[in-house]
Amino acid sequence: MSGTLAKIAEIESEMARTQKNKATAHHLGLLKARLAKLRRELITPKGGGGGGPGEGFDVAKTGDARIGFVGFPSVGKSTLLSNLAGVRVSFGEIYKVQPYVAPAHFA
């Protein structure tokens, strides 16, 4: 833990010493990435020892919910929904809707 804090302090002091310009932008970006990685390690430290995979748990499905997937065509929205829900999804009625185009009056 103290080693991580020392590394964070060292990187922060190097960032403070480094001038900000075009030539040092890449170097500062690398320092920021290292700093973010070290801070992430402080928040969620790596687990020690390998006990192998742990026991899983089940969550009972209860209640009603509505969800909606938004995305580009043919990216797997229906496949994701059917895999999560464990049912076959049919969207036939959605595609049969005809849009209404309002008339535009030009002067």
Q: Render pLDDT for 38-65 as a digit per residue (tens, 0 to 9).
A: 888 888 766 655 555 666 666 666 777 6
Of 9, 50, 6, 14, the C-alpha closest to 31 is 14
User: Into how many domains does the chain fold?
Assistant: 1
Q: Looking at the domain assignment, is residue 30 inside a domain?
A: yes
In a domain, 8, yes or no: yes
**Across 20-24, 51-55, 97-101, which has the greatest mean pLDDT?**
20-24
Q: Quick check: is 28 in a domain?
A: yes
Contact indicator for 53, 47 with CB cutoff of 8 Å: no
> Per the domain annotation, does 14 fall within a domain?
yes
Tell me the CA distances in angstroms from 54 to 47, 57, 58, 60, 87, one per residue in order: 13, 10, 13, 20, 29
Identify which has the larger pLDDT, 34 or 93. 34
In a domain, 50, yes or no: no
Domain that holds residue 13: 2-43
Residue 75 sits at φ, ψ, to 5 deg, of -110, -5
Q: Would you say residue 74 lies in a domain?
A: no
Q: Is residue 104 part of a domain?
A: no
Nearest in space to 80 (alpha carbons), one of 94, 97, 96, 68: 68
Residue 75 lies in a domain: no
